Amino acid sequence: MIRSATSSPLPSTQNGAVIMPNSAQTTQAGNDSAVESDLNAPVDLPNRIDVTNLNIYYGAFKAVEDVSMTINPQSITALIGPSGCGKSTFLRSLNRMHEVIDGAYVEGSVVINDKDLYGPGVDPVAVRRKIGMVFQRPNPFPTMSIADNVLAGKKLNSKRMSKTEAAELVEESLRGANLWNEVKDRLDKPGSGLSGGQQQRLCIARAIAVSPDVLLMDEPCSALDPISTLAIEELMLELKRTYNIVIVTHNMQQAARVSDRTGFFTIEGTGKPGKLIEMDTTEKIFANPAKQATQDYVTGRFG
Ligand SMILES: Nc1ncnc2c1ncn2[C@@H]1O[C@H](COP(=O)(O)OP(=O)(O)OP(=O)(O)O)[C@@H](O)[C@H]1O
Ligand SMILES: [Mg+2]
């Protein structure tokens, strides 16, 4: 069942706690533990990501320590935690964007489709093509047309396409990003002429145009108004049928509304590495987490 962000009631809060996370996962079962174990069990489908003992460094500084997690395909995984705990750093390590920073490196493994992204001979550019990224601020190329923005990644990555192929890809990607109807009459106009929410959907169209396996999203709605935010959330719920989606968010309600599983990261103090404290079904993390630190964070007592 595809849930709609707008048709499901918003999570309500009680003492700051989000008490109605992603309820569609549990309504049918009547047996919470069975549902939880299903969602937590590694899914044997393509594009599952298995992270094992990952340490992430900026030079001598260890920013993230010893993270192991399984990220299931055809689902949305939310990463939450206080500022500076390493969520963005961790996300960027999932498609080898981390190492574009001078002196940055990782230890450990990130395996997808039986291949360690950090194994010998793996081309980071090929990894980034298969594992796309959408950033906090919509970043279309401002002077490029809407159509060319959609094609930007494709043109960088492959040989020339025919005009017909390009037009088809533009339409398909914009439809996939729920933007086609709004822009179909101005495809040759600059991407910068769109609203913030439209620009973010344009960036999603650009990301999906290269047919990635995974979509990483770092606070994709933090610069957007609530209506655009709901549009992106609806889109994510549709896209998860096809993609493995990982989203970093500071918005607890958003994590509760869209994600299937949630990982909580935190940091003990300045200069200390961020750690994954707990990962479970979103239902469990928000309603009944195992760790006190998680409880404190999701109820707003910390961070
Ligand atoms: N380019 C960089 N060079 C050196 N240190 C960095 C770099 N980027 C991030 N860091 C450090 O790594 C740690 C984790 O940062 P990161 O941006 O991953 O946190 P975050 O959880 O995404 O925070 P926020 O919620 O504020 O976005 C911080 O201590 C940060 O200062
Ligand atoms: Mg961040």
What is the tens place of the pLDDT at every residue in 24-68?
344 333 444 444 457 899 999 999 999 999 999 999 999 999 999
Distance 197 CA to ligand 2 centre (A): 19
| CA–CA gap between residue 280 and residue 289 (Å, rounded) | 8
Mean pLDDT over each residue of the chain, to the nearest integer: 88
Measured in angstroms, how far is the CA atom of residue 86 from the centroid of ligand 1?
Answer: 6
- Work out the average pLDDT over 8-26: 40
Number of helices (H) and strands (E), helices first, in the chain? 11, 12
The answer to whether the beta carbons of residues 221 and 251 sit under 8 Å apart is yes
Ligand nearest to the CA of 264: 1
Do residues 78 and 284 touch, judged by C-beta distance below 8 A? no
> Which residue is closest in CA terms to ligand 1's atom 2?
58
279 lines ligand 1 (CB under 6 A): no
Query: Does the Cβ of 84 fall within 6 Å of ligand 1?
Result: yes
Cα separation of 211 and 130, whole Å? 7
Cα gap 293→285, rounded to integer Å: 11
Which residues, including other chains, have CB under 8 Å from residue 131's CB and lie 6 or more apart?
94, 95, 112, 117, 212, 213, 214, 216
Nearest protein CA to atom 17 of ligand 1, as residue: 88
Q: Which residues of 114-125 are buried (b: 16+ CB within 10 A; e: fewer)?
A: eeebbeeeeeee
Q: Which ligand gives the minimal distance to the CA of 102?
A: 1
Does residue 16 have a pLDDT over 90? no
Report if pTM > 0.95. Answer: no
Q: For residues 199-218, give the mean pLDDT.
A: 94
What are 268-287's pLDDT values in tens digits? 999 999 999 999 999 999 99
The answer, yes or no, to whether any atom of ligand 1 lies below 6 A from the CB of 178, is: no
CB contact burial 157-188 (16+ within 10 A = b; e otherwise): eeeeeeeeebeebbeebbebbbbbebbeeebe
Tell how far the Cα of 34 is from the centroid of ligand 2, in angstroms: 33
Alpha helical stretches, state H, the chain:
32-40, 87-93, 124-130, 146-157, 163-176, 180-183, 196-209, 226-239, 252-258, 282-287, 292-298
Whether residue 83 has its Cβ less than 6 Å from ligand 1: yes
Distance 81 CA to ligand 2 centre (A): 10
Residue 117 has pLDDT above 50, yes or no: yes
Among 204, 205, 227, residue whose Cα is nearest residue 216 = 204
Residue 107, sorted as left (phi over 0), alpha (psi -120 to 50) or beta, turns out to be beta
Q: What is the pLDDT of residue 1?
A: 39
**Which ligand sits closest to the CA of 89?**
1
Which of 58, 135, 251, 277 is the pocket-test mutation for ligand 1 (most atoms within 8 Å of CB)?
Answer: 58
Cβ(236)–Cβ(76) under 8 Å?
yes
State the Cα–Cα distance between residues 174 and 203, nearest whole angstrom: 10
How far does residue 90's CA lie from ligand 2's centre (Å)?
A: 9
Q: Which atom of ligand 1 is nearest to the CA of 87?
A: 21
